[in-house]
A and B are shown apart, each in its own frame.
Chain A
């Protein structure tokens, strides 16, 4: 491995700028770190260069641990967005800078300089001053300068940011060529997804200091695992759908049966789907569609943008009340973004106001277990207040999902719960579960009845909020039974992608294992859990170890500081009223309960209808 980052964390003035990032970048690979501004990508790059120290974790270059090595001893070349050329030196002196520092002979320096100038196509400009060159030329000089001392790694920090589109493309090609010719491991930081697609062997997408996903450009585009990546890489419509063993449905729309492995998750449940604008088919009527019918709609707006036509289609009644996930601009309008090629436009010309039938050529289901939030309360007023809680509102905004409201008088603290409610079991829940989708959100109360009532009706996740709680800085993760492990990890990973909080797995071993030196049995399970989190969910957790009573240990940690959130995985609802009663009444921290019944229930697998995509494309051929 050329570059190896292991749990690199950087804090700056109390906030975590780079949060537990681990990557391995292979020899000669062109790796692009992509993310919005403020996502920590530049800080990470500077950490690799040695210009910024890290608070935690290790950085190695070609197997050599350089975490504490000064920048000038790391053997990296760095190119800056603003070129950072030495203005009082000529092009030649700039390029030879690293060689002069190394006291190379003049003849050897000149030879190397000529070689580099040829590489970046700037021969003959040796005696110019940087101010006499165009922006593109200056950046070429900067690239040549960064390569002069034959670094093992080339780092580029938004190198095209200050250039206009034409020159940007030209320089992009040069850099790709140089990188191939030298076979040098390269990391480029950018916020421009087009640039990332054009250059990268692999892309790593960062947000809020966390590395969300790493993969080949086409893979990430077709099969994102997170909402953020789905919407940041290209345009995407995020829709809530119900997935059952038979297929998918949007709202009360028809069942779409994509060719995919049926979910092993037996119960129908809510999922988040990604529909790319170019994968939506428009036709005059349902019968004319080549792809599975999804809904009726009305064309709202048409924008011509060169090769493509961009449309905004308002969904018809069938889906209007359905669970369209709120889009970026937070408008409540349920509409879809659609793009069409010139060819499609000619075959079926459209104007605003016309009705259309929508078909889905290809869709992708995000493997996230947290699809949406439902605020549950005994009265409408209380539910409204609950939905406006800052933490919940913030989570929903960041996760680009909606908060529904459900009023259930039975949840009132004084009200006696309906007889036999707690006894309601899966078989019955099956019939009513349409009403119990999404993560439930309730106000913290003094007993476990509300939670038990929800769990008994098929709700899998319950977020217990405290009034005024802010976004947590630390998320504690613990599961009581092994059968809840997988689900807890998946929910934790999904939630943490949208928070800049530190993840801490709290492992608690029975008191008698403390003496069980040298290696307590339970320890192995803890380590396994950590590597599973990293491998399956891209979630890096710190581990803290405790001994003794689980509830007591957790309460103790929650009391340490405010701004914490506890994710507790359980598989026996009765535990709540019993062992964990203390946690439920803890006023300080919000609590997210992940409930999985003892039989193994896997997270839904991603599903697609690739064969239909093919037929859709053939239609006008």
Chain B
């Protein structure tokens, strides 16, 4: 960063690249990723590998572990999907309309970023517990939120929402209203305009937002443990199971579960990224 700010503006224009040469930057990138991401992850896998195959399978394929995977990934996926729809609506409203209090609503979006996740968890539990403000009415309808998978999804939705909204806002702002006007004068109805004009334009951002929200939800711990109730096999998420292993000083078991999460998350994120780049190649060849 110091290199960037130190360089005179005129030389920035003259030189093809802002930062010093490729060798240096690439070296830094490799070092940074290795020290902070790859090495610790390798250590994790390494520790898990010190278990015997039988022990490993016993830990990662236990009924309790399988239940936690299902909840963690299922609820995260569901939460990211919910955010896909409602995050879009919120982002659209904030970009396209001017209403009193818009700035405040816009600032509220970032609250889940800033709050310690435990605080969100406690707050959500207060509201959704069976005697809570909303929970008491839902329980009349026979819906229990707190201490069920629904509660987990609610918590993960809250945590992921700002990622979706913040990613979508600039993309929606990019969609010129002229495009919609043009489509309308050409005879397209609103739904058609949305499907054929707006959606293709914001789809890459939606995928990115989905990825971020999903990744955040998989790793979430603090807010979930308060509202989930942590009933083994039912409302116990994988991160919690790992903590439980740690508390029993079963570091290897924790590492084994961690490795599984690592692999699964990597596969999911890679898939989404592939879809993303495939879509980008198909949709926008704008650079050339």
Contacts and interface: CB of A to CB of B under 8 A. Distances in A.
Nearest to B186: A98
A71 B185 contact: yes
B134 interface: no
B187 A98 contact: yes
Interface in B261-288: 283-288
Contact of A87 (B189, B192, B196, B286): B286
B226 to A, nearest CB: 44
A148 B186 contact: yes
Interface string B197-232: 100110000000000000000000000000000000
A148 B189 CA distance: 17
Interface stretch (B11-19, B173-181, B249-257): B173-181
Size bracket of the A interface: 20 to 34
Interface residues of B, number: 23
B7 interface: no
Contacts of A87: 201, 284, 286
A82 B175 CA distance: 13
A131 B284 CA distance: 9
Contact of A101 (B179, B181, B192, B287): B192
Contact of B288 (A70, A74, A86, A132): A132
Given A87-B284, A97-B188, A129-B286, A51 B181 contact: yes
A462 to B, nearest CB: 45
B112 to A, nearest CB: 32
Contacts of A145: 182, 186
A101 B187 contact: yes
B252 to A, nearest CB: 50
B188 A101 contact: yes
Contact of A86 (B179, B192, B285): B179
Contact of B178 (A80, A88, A97, A129): A80
A84 interface: yes
Contact of A78 (B185, B197, B200, B286): B185
A450 B200 CA distance: 72
B184 interface: yes
Interface string B150-189: 0000000000000000000000000010110111111111
A80 B177 CA distance: 11
Interface string A65-79: 000001111101110
Contacts of B283: 88
A76 B185 contact: yes
B222 to A, nearest CB: 40
Contacts of A132: 285, 288
Given A84-B181, A86-B179, A87-B284, A149 B186 contact: yes
A50 interface: yes
Interface of B: 176, 178-179, 181-189, 192, 196-197, 200-201, 283-288
7 smallest beta-carbon distances between A and B, as pairs:
A98-B186, A84-B178, A131-B286, A84-B182, A78-B185, A101-B187, A71-B184
